[in-house]
Amino acid sequence: MQHFNHGGSFATKPELGLKRPAQSQSDRKSSGRWTFFFLLLFTVAVYARPQDIFPSLDALHLPLVFGICSGAAFLAAVFSGSTSLYFPRELQIVLFLTLWYLLGIPFAVWKSGSLQMFSQIWLKTLLAFFLLSQTLVSLKRIRFLVWAVILSEFSVTAMTLADRQHANWRGERLFGFNQGILGWNYFGIAVAMTIPYLAVLFLSRRSFVRAALVFGACSSLMWMLVLTGSRSGLIIVTLSIILTFVLILRHSSRGRITSFVVAAILLITLTQAPQVLWTRLETLWTSSDVAANQIAASAEESTQDRTALLQRAVRYTLEHPLLGLGLGNFIVTSGTEVGRASAWHVTHNTFTEVSSEAGIPALCLFAGLLVVAIRNMRRLGNSVPADPRLLELPLMARATLASVVCFAFGGLFANLAYDYYIFYAIAIAVGLQRVARRLYSVPSKAPEKSTRIAQPFPLAPALR
């Protein structure tokens, strides 16, 4: 197992009993405090989407305003010399991916639609990822960003559960006020990517308020999950809980107790789950011949439709292997081919979304981005600092590893190639590596191969 060496004075949380180090000149030049402040507001606007709950806010265009303010603050910092540009490998891959998306627009089936997807969706994601990669320069900022995501998910979920009568329902399935993370399969992926960070935040500090927020968020997210009736969402969250236990919780007695509590929360919510969830789950091992009611028939039809969409996406990929159909063009091509208004669906698969709309080179870049993040977080998570009180860094790396793996699995059931979900996790991975390079002398080569993803290590007293 690798060990970090000391790289000067230590920079960790005050609650772990260590003094804050004096910032070096390079740290100050990379601060971008106002940029990060507006990024936090942007994160809340994106994840909580208050304009969906309070329609009067829609006219303010909060994500756009906060994004512009963050970008303007970064440009001002760059030109003033207070912030330096940083181009990690992950950012380079994303920039190459952006170039490939751009090259495909003139050859798209529906050029204006492809341009619209590129300018109105992808460029926003690119801007957020770029600014996060420039400003996540400390564990404190990473912690703030994680809290912003968690509290946004918690608040909008709790509000939906508190006022279910006025929330959006699709039959017997709860959709919620929010048109972002609360959408069925998307919600399951969002919860799965959040759970590992909840575990780290709970373990890293003994605090009643923090524990109450963590378990309140966990309970709220679990209950909302079963009300969505999402089969894939439940499977992805189960995977997340297992990964969180293996990578994070099992290494301390407090963590093991916490894992049982989280599992108990999931089991309790499942016992109170509406029949729609169980009926839909039964379709995973029964055929359409035994579909006894409309819910089961609908779930079976959904499975068949997604199988057909997958086959069509693979065929389009083979027919347009270089540049694809064009961003956002799968739904147009597929719907036109089938000739039914009800057939205008997205791929429901992130990887075939990329391959069919941007070609096999884009898929390789996208998959490579995930592989780089997983490899780096595995290496950082397996490393043990010389001072055991600094274990929050590898714990965060393990949480990010679990989060990226959950997205990769969840991406098989939802189309999220151009959205923020994975790029927030990748940005956190970039930030953790940057913090590690500043605090320690991190070996440039990966450790020797091991048959285990995560090596156990003792937690410091403050983390037990």
Residue in the block written with tokens 């059931």: 413
DSSP category for residue 65: H
Identity of the residue numbered 278: W
**Residues contacting residue 378 through CB under 8 Å, at least 6 positions apart:** 401, 453, 454
- Token output for 262: 């989280």
- Token output for 373: 């993040």
Under 8 Å between Cβ of 224 and 182: yes
Residue 64 vs residues 41, 69, 120: alpha-carbon distances, Å: 11, 9, 10
Does residue 292 surpass a pLDDT of 60?
A: no
Does residue 229 surpass a pLDDT of 80?
A: no
Neighbours of 162 (CB within 10 A): 10
pLDDT tens by residue, 182-203: 666 688 899 999 999 999 999 8
State residue 452's pLDDT score. Answer: 38
**Residue of higher predicted confidence among 331 and 271:** 331
Does residue 333 surpass a pLDDT of 50?
A: yes
- Token output for 66: 């906060």
**Residue of higher predicted confidence among 366 and 18:** 366
Does residue 239 surpass a pLDDT of 60?
A: yes
Phi, psi values for residue 63, rounded to 5°: -60, -40
Beta bridge partners of 181: none
Q: What SS3 state is found at 451?
A: coil
Write down the pTM of the prediction: 0.84
Phi, psi values for residue 73, rounded to 5°: -65, -35
State residue 442's pLDDT score. Answer: 44
**373: Cα separation from own chain's centroid:** 12
State residue 156's pLDDT score. Answer: 86
pLDDT bucket at 83, cuts 50 / 70 / 90: confident
What is the share, in percent, of the chain residues with pLDDT greater than 90?
47
- Token output for 37: 């402040």
Does residue 338 surpass a pLDDT of 70?
A: yes
Under 8 Å between Cβ of 351 and 366: yes
pLDDT bucket at 302, cuts 50 / 70 / 90: low
- Token output for 97: 């991916």
Q: Which long-range contacts (CB under 8 A, 24 or more apart) does 182-187 make?
A: 182/156, 182/157, 182/224, 182/228, 184/228, 184/229, 184/230, 184/233, 185/230, 185/232, 185/233, 185/348, 185/410, 185/413, 185/414, 186/414, 186/416, 186/421, 187/224, 187/225, 187/228, 187/230, 187/233
- Token output for 119: 């300018």
Does residue 301 surpass a pLDDT of 80?
A: no
Computed on alpha carbons and rounded to an integer, the radius of gyration of the chain in Å comes to 22
State residue 159's pLDDT score. Answer: 83
**267: Cα separation from own chain's centroid:** 24
pLDDT tens by residue, 165-177: 666 666 666 666 6
Number of H helices and number of E strands within the chain? 19, 4
Domain boundaries, the chain: 5-18+26-463
How far apart, in whole angstroms, are the C-alpha atoms of residue 229 and residue 325? 32
